[in-house]
Structure 1
Amino acid sequence: MDEHIARIQEHKLRTVWQNEERDFTRWLAENIQLLGSELGIEIEDAHTEETVGDFSSDIVAREMNTGETVVIENQYGKTDHDHLGKLLTYSSGKNAGFTIWLAEEFRPEHRSVLEWLNESGPKDVKFFAIKPRVLSIENTDKRGFEFEVVVEPNDWEREITDESLSETERSYREFFADLVDDYSERRPHWSKLKPGPRNYLTFSAGISGVSFGWVFHQGPEFAVELYIQTSDAERNMAIFEALQEQSAEIEANLDTELVWQQLSDKRACRIKWPKPLEEKITQLSASQQAQLVEWGVDVMDSFQEEFEPRISTLNVD
C-alpha cells in the first residue's frame, strides 16, 4: 500500500457517545440538520423522548418544506424486533411522513421490512434505514462521523423525472434544482436541499418556526422571503415587530423596499423581496428561468446576510 494512504477504521458509537439515550440521541437532536442534509430535506424543531401513548419516541421533529412529522428511532448495535415495533408504533401514533431508523447494523430481515413498507405500505410515509458511523484514519485518535443510507424510498432519487407529476410540478422541481446547485456554489457550507414539486423551497433561519425561502406567488411573482410561523402567534408577532423596528436600516442596506405582511388568517408573518413575473413558471423560457435563478441566488445571498445576524440576537422569549 502507498505509504501516503492509510486505512479507515470504524468505531462503535459508544466510543464517542457512551449512552445511546442520554448522549447520542441528545446530540442528534441538537445537530439534526446533519441528518437532514444527508437526506436532502430540512428538519427542525427536534424534541427528544416525546410521548406516544404509554411509550416515548427518541426524536420527533418536523420537515420544514412539507410540514410533515419526522419520527426517529435510535439503536446501538444490531437491529431487533423490539425496536422495529417501537418504530412502527411511534410512526403511526404521530402520523409521520418520515420514519427513520438509525442503527449500527441492520439485519437483512429488518432491512427487507422497510423496503417492503416503501413498496407496499402507506403511500404518504417514507421509511429510511440509516447507519451512523464513527470513523478514523488508522493510527490516529481524531474521529470523524457520517451517515450511511441503507434503505430509502424507491423513488427518492428519481422523483425529478416522475411522470405522475404535472407540468407545473416538474417545472418547479427543475427550477429549484438549478437554484439549489447555484446557491450551494455561492455558499459552500449551506446545507443543500432536495427540491420538491412545489412552488416554494425553504430552509431554517436559525430559530425554530422561522425560515428563509424562495416562493412563487400568484401575480405572478417570485420572492425571496423570511416566513415567521412558530406555534405561538404572539411570538410570531414579537419577532416580526422586532425586525420591523429595524426596517429603515435593513432596507437601506439592501437598497430596496421590502414588503412587510402580517398574515392574520394564518397567524404568521412574512417579510419578502418580490420580483414581478410576466408569465407563470411553465411559460418562462430557459433563458428567463436562468435569469430568475441568478436573481434568486443574488438576492437570497444578500437577504440572508442581512437578516441572519439580526435574528440570532433577537430576544423575544
Structure 2
Amino acid sequence: MTARLPSDLIVRPEPANIRVVWPNEAHDFTPWLAANLSWLDETLELGELQLVGTEMPIPGFARNLDILATAADGTRIAIENQYRKVDHDHLTRGLAYAVGHECGALVVIAEAHGREFVAIADYLNHAYESVGAERGIAVFLVELSVQKVGAHFVPRFTVVSRPNTWLTDVHQSPSGGGDDRSVAAFLARCPADFRPVAAQVIEDWQRREGAFIRITPSSASISLDYPYSATTGHTSIYGIYDNGGLGVQRGYYRASVVPDERVEEMDAVMASCFPTLTDKPFYRTARDFEPAGAARFADWLIAVGMEEEQTQA
C-alpha cells in the first residue's frame, strides 16, 4: 500500500506579479521566452517550436516582431508579447507581422484578453478553418500568469482562443514523427533524387569555420545559419526542406546585414545562384538548384555581412 503524503508536502500555489520575474516585457520576458520556447510547446500542442529570431523587422513598420519561430511541421509562427490587457495595436500589428513574415499562425501573449478580442480571434479562426492553412492565419490568444511555490516561480500559459482544426492538421503533417536530429535522419526523409544535393549542401556547410546547423525533430526543414554578426547572432542563410526545396531569406537588409546600397547586387547574386527562385519579398524558395550555387550565395552573403560588421565596429 502506498504511503500517504504528509499534509505539509501539499501546498497551494500563490499568485505572483509577472514583473517580479520579468520586470520588462521587451528586455526580460521576450528574451526568456525566446530561449525557452518549450514552455509553449505543450500549451499550443504544436510539437517542438524552433526559434528563427527575435526583434524581426518588416518593411514599413517602425517596430519589430517580438519572436519568429517554426512549428513541428515547418510552419512559421509569429509571437507578439504584451504586459497587461491586450490592445488593438498589438493584435493588428501582430497580424501585420504574421502576413509580412508569411506565417501560418499568430500567437499573442498578454496578461489578459478581453471578450472583444477573443471574439475577434474566434472570428479569424473560423475564417482560417473555412479557407484552409494555405490562405488563412491561425490566431492563438494566450494568457500569461505566474504562480509562486516556496522560492520558485511557475509560469502559466493558458490558451483562450485557437482554431479547432489546427491540432488535427499538425498531427497529420506528412513530415513524419520521431525525435532524431541527425543529418542522416534528415537525409533519409528527402526524396532519393534530392538526397545527394542536400548532402552536398550540408557537407559544404560543415566544412565552414564557425558554421551552425540546426535540425528540428518531426520537422520538414533543416536550418543552416552562420554567426558572422555579433549584433544579429545566428542569421539564417537558407533552409533545406525534405520535400526537395530550398528556402532563402531575402530580408537581410532589414536586419542591417546587407546595406541598402547593395540590395540590388544581392538580388542579382541570388538570381544567378538560384535560377528557379520565387519572387516573394522575404522568404523565397527554389527547386532544381545546384549545391555550388548555394555555396556561392552563402560565400557572398557571409563576406558582405563581415564587411558590414567591420564597418559598424
Query: What TM-score range do you get, normalising by the shorter chain?
Result: 0.5 to 0.7
1:123 and 2:99 are equivalent in the alignment: no
**Once superposed, what is the RMSD of the aligned Cα atoms?**
3.9
What's the counterpart of residue 171 of structure 1? none
Conserved in 2, the CA contact under 8 Å of 1:12 and 1:134?
yes
Read off the aligned partner of 2:204 and give its amino acid letter: E
> 2:112·2:144 contact (CA, 8 Å) conserved in 1?
no
User: In 2, distance between residues paired with 1:12 and 1:214?
Assistant: 47
Quote how far apart the aligned CAs of 1:151 are.
1.3
Aligned-partner Cα distance in 2 for 1:101–1:77: 12
CA contact (8 A) 2:73 2:173 kept: no
Amino acid at match of 2:64: S
Residue 110 of structure 1 pairs with residue 117 of structure 2: yes
* Structure 1 residues 212 and 114: CA distance shift in structure 2, 3 A: farther
Confirm or deny: 8 A CA contact 1:200 1:215 kept in the other structure.
no
Match of 1:89, as an amino acid? A
Given that 1:111 and 1:151 are in contact with CA atoms closer than 8 Å, whether structure 2 keeps it comes out as yes
- Aligned partner letter, 1:56: N
- Residue 129 of structure 1 deviates from its aligned partner by 1.0
Matches within 5 A, 1:200-219: 200-201=176-177, 203=179, 205=181
Find the counterpart in structure 2 of residue 141 from structure 1: 151
- Specify whether residues 232 and 56 from structure 1 end up closer, same or farther in structure 2 by C-alpha distance, changes over 3 A only: farther
Paired with 1:237 and 1:196, the residues of 2 have a C-alpha distance of 36
> Quick one: distance in 2 between partners of 1:214 and 1:37?
28
The match for 1:180 is none
Instruction: Output the CA distance in 1 between the equivalents of 2:189 and 2:54.
Output: 35
Q: Does 1:235 align with 2:205?
A: yes
Give the structure 2 partner of residue 19 of structure 1: 24
Per the TM alignment, residue 199 of structure 1 is displaced from its structure 2 partner at its CA by 5.0
What amino acid is the match of 1:81?
Answer: H
Q: CA deviation at 1:14?
A: 1.1
Does 2:12 align with 1:7? yes
Whole-angstrom distance in 2 between the partners of 1:111 and 1:234: 48
Query: Which AA in structure 1 matches 2:126?
Result: E
Aligned to 1:84: 91
Q: How does 1:212-291 map to 2 (within 5 A)?
A: 234-235=204-205
Partner of 1:59: 67
Q: What one-letter code is carried by the residue in structure 2 that aligns with 1:59?
A: I
User: SS in structure 1 opposite 2:33?
Assistant: helix
Q: Relative to structure 1, is the Cα distance of residues 11 and 198 closer, same or farther in structure 2, using a 3 angstrom cutoff? A: same
1:195 is aligned to 2:200: no
Q: Structure 1 residues 60, 127: CA separation in 2 closer, same or farther (over 3 Å shift)? A: same
TM-fit CA distance, 1:214: 11
Unpaired segments ≥5 residues, structure 1: 161-193, 220-227, 240-262, 269-317
**Are the aligned partners of 1:195 and 1:201 in contact in 2 as well (CA < 8 Å)?**
no
Note if contact 1:200-1:213 (Cα within 8 Å) is conserved in structure 2.
no
Match of 1:73 among 74, 80, 84: 80
**Could you tell me which of 160, 168, 171 is aligned with 1:150?**
160
- Residues 171-213 of structure 1: CA deviation (Å, up to 9, x unaligned): xxxxxxxxxxxxxxxxxxxxxxx6324251254749xxx6967
Contact 1:25 1:58 in 2 (8 A): yes
* Residue ranges of structure 2 left out of the alignment (5+ in a row): 1-5, 193-197, 210-241, 248-313
Q: Which of residues 24, 27, 50 in structure 1 aligns to 2:56?
A: 50
1:94, 1:69 → 2: CA distance? Answer: 8
Q: Secondary structure at 1:83's aligned position in 2?
A: helix
Q: Normalising to structure 2: TM-score of the pair?
A: 0.53
| 1:78–1:199 CA distance, 2 compared to 1 (3 A) | closer
AA of the residue aligned to 1:23 = D
Return the offset for 1:134: 1.1
Question: Could you say what secondary structure the match of 2:102 adopts?
Answer: coil
Instruction: Return closer, same or farther for 1:75/1:68 CA change in 2, 3 Å cut-off.
Output: same
Identity of aligned residues (%): 27
Q: Secondary structure at the match of 1:10?
A: strand
Contact 1:201 1:215 in 2 (8 A): no
